[in-house]
Amino acid sequence: MAQLWGGRFQGATDRSAYEFNASIRFDQRLYKEDIEGSIAHAAMLGRQGILSASERDSIIEGLKQLKSDIESGAVSITDEYEDIHSFVESVLTERIGEAGKKLHTGRSRNDQVALDMKLYTRNQLKITDQALKELLQTILSIMEEHTETYMPGFTHLQKAQPVTLAHHLGAYFEMFYRDRDRLKDIEKRMNTCPLGAGALAGTTYDLDRDYTAELLLFDGGPTRNSMDSVSDRDYLIEFLSALSLIMMHLSRFSEEVIIWNSNEYRFVEIDDRYATGSSIMPQKKNPDIAELVRGKTGRVYGALVSLLTTMKGIPLAYDKDMQEDKELSFDAMDTARNCIREFCGMLQTMKFRKDLMEESAKKGFTNATDAADYLVKKGVPFRDAHSIVGRLVLKGIEEGKALDDLTLEEFRKESGAFEEDIYEAISLKTCVEKRLTFGAPGPERMREVIDVYRKML
Q: Which residue numbers are catalytic? A: 156, 278
- In this structure, which amino acid lies at residue 456? M
By the 8 A CB rule, do 440 and 164 touch? no
Q: Sign of dihedral through CA atoms 190, 193, 195, 196?
A: negative
How would you label 17-47 residue by residue, b for 16+ Cβ within 10 Å and e otherwise? eeeeebbbebbbebbbbbbbbbbbbbbbbbb
Element (H, E) at 171: helix 165-190
By the 8 A CB rule, do 70 and 77 touch? yes
Cα distances (angstroms) measured from residue 73 to each of 35, 68, 88, 402, 436: 16, 9, 15, 67, 61
Q: Sign of dihedral through CA atoms 282, 286, 289, 294?
A: negative
- Neighbour count for residue 416 (Cβ, 10 Å): 10
Bridge partner list, 153: 161
CA dist., res. 158 & res. 35, Å (int): 56
Q: What angle do CA 410, 416, 422 make, to 5 degrees?
A: 65
How would you label 428-446 residue by residue, b for 16+ Cβ within 10 Å and e otherwise? bebbbbebeeeeebbbebb
Nearest to 361, CA basis, from 171, 166, 159, 168: 159
When computed from its CA atoms, the radius of gyration of the chain, rounded to whole angstroms, is 31
- Neighbour count for residue 289 (Cβ, 10 Å): 21
Nearest to 177, CA basis, from 139, 147, 141, 143: 139
CA dist., res. 251 & res. 257, Å (int): 10
CA dist., res. 437 & res. 446, Å (int): 10
Q: Which residues contact 351 (CB under 8 A, 6 or more apart)?
A: 268, 269, 271
Q: Which residues contact 235 (CB under 8 A, 6 or more apart)?
A: 118, 121, 186, 189, 190
Rounded (to 5) percent helix, strand, coil in the chain: 65, 5, 30
By the 8 A CB rule, do 223 and 239 touch? no
